[in-house]
Amino acid sequence: MDWVLLPLLFYAAAHSAAPLLIAGLGELITEKSGVLNLGVEGMMLIGAVFAFIAAHDGGGFAGGLLAAAAAGFAVAGLFAFLTVGLRANQVACGLALAIFGGGLSAFAGLSYEGKSLPDSVFAFADFAHKKFVHDLFLLFALFMLAATWWFLNRSRAGLILRAAGENHDAARQTGYPVSWIRAAAVLYGGVMCALAGAYLSLVYTPLWAQGMSAGRGWIVLALVVFASWRPGRLLLGAFLFGFMGILNFTLQNWGATVAPEFLAMAPYLATIAVLAAISWKMRRRRSRDFPSCLGKPLPLSR
């Protein structure tokens, strides 16, 4: 085992954690407003495929990001219309969105399966051998982490958002437009999830493959719970999962005798173990950051 490579292992783990952190921050804001969106996986896939299509067909790197953001905004708008506007069941709509996103991305990317991006997409980053693009997304994720913490803990708007998720009746009686607050949070979460998907198809791979998110959207949902709806803990959970994922490939390269199938399962097993520990802890002492109205539709005003 070459311990000199450990810094590179941590560096690669940080990049693997970046899409989880970006999507997780979007879902955290959505859930803090009181809306449970289980469609993260579908939104990541939609963002990934439309980012790849736009970048591949001449839109460039920036065009891919814009396409992903627009697609995420559109599907999140549909979800917000159903769950916030029509008060539809959030769990059912979220699961439907996850299935819809998988099907739509597979259909839209059918002719792009296995294709890679042309070099012209990354012409602006040739001087850094494309490493700059990886670092750019990682820096964006860390910036949004700090911005999310400040928003929730230091801004008046963040306090209003938390009020909408903790007691929507009291927030509405105070005069806050709870429905609009929740809709805005859902739209923001959709854009962040789509950008996380764009990272996968534009930078991390970069190519399009059906189902390339590989369950990361479901892991994001678990990580938000693991983090107890706190941005700092979300960073820890995302890095833990990213590290376990990279460790899988690293141990195989180092000649580990562990079965590769078990190594592939390790990140998910670690996530389940951590969630079980968190659930046991929350049974003993309810987290003060838990949005009390999470998943509960806003009653019709009388």
Is the pLDDT at 129 greater than 60? The verdict is no
Check if the beta carbon of residue 164 is closer than 8 Å to that of residue 177.
no
Q: Look over the chain and give the mean of its residue pLDDT values, rounded to a whole number.
A: 86
Residue 58 has a pLDDT of 85
Give the confidence band of 135 by pLDDT, cuts at 50, 70, 90: confident
Residues 132-139, mean pLDDT to the nearest whole number: 82
Residues 18-39, mean pLDDT to the nearest whole number: 96
Question: Residues 141, 122, 118, CA angle at the centre, nearest 5°?
Answer: 125
The structure tokens listed for 119 are: 């070099």
Give the confidence band of 22 by pLDDT, cuts at 50, 70, 90: very high
Residue 128 has a pLDDT of 47
Residues 3-26, mean pLDDT to the nearest whole number: 85
As a whole number of angstroms, the distance between CA 20 and CA 12 comes to 14
As a whole number of angstroms, the distance between CA 41 and CA 98 comes to 6
Residue 193 has a pLDDT of 97
Check if the beta carbon of residue 38 is closer than 8 Å to that of residue 92.
no
Check if the beta carbon of residue 52 is closer than 8 Å to that of residue 117.
yes
Q: What is the DSSP string of 111-139?
A: GGTT-B--GGGGGGGGGGTTHHHHHHHHH
Q: Worst-scoring range by mean pLDDT, 31-35, 190-194, 206-210?
A: 206-210
Check if the beta carbon of residue 23 is closer than 8 Å to that of residue 196.
yes
The whole-model pTM stands at 0.90
Give the confidence band of 302 by pLDDT, cuts at 50, 70, 90: very low
Residues 264-268, mean pLDDT to the nearest whole number: 72
Residues 249-287 as b/e (b if ≥16 CB within 10 A, e otherwise) read ebbeeeeeeeeeeebeebbbebbeebeeebeeeeeeeee
As a whole number of angstroms, the distance between CA 154 and CA 161 comes to 12
Check if the beta carbon of residue 108 is closer than 8 Å to that of residue 207.
no
For 83, list phi and psi in degrees, rounded to 5: -85, -40
Check if the beta carbon of residue 160 is closer than 8 Å to that of residue 290.
no
> Hey, where are the domains in the chain?
3-284
Residue 91 has a pLDDT of 94
- CA 59, 60, 62, 67 dihedral sign is positive
Is the pLDDT at 180 greater than 90? The verdict is yes
CA-CA-CA-CA torsion for 284, 168, 83, 224, nearest 10 degrees?
Answer: -30
Q: Could you confirm whether domain 3-284 is CATH 1.10.3470?
A: yes
Residues 30-37, mean pLDDT to the nearest whole number: 96
Is the pLDDT at 160 greater than 90? The verdict is yes
Instruction: Give Cα 57 distance to the centre of its chain.
Output: 25
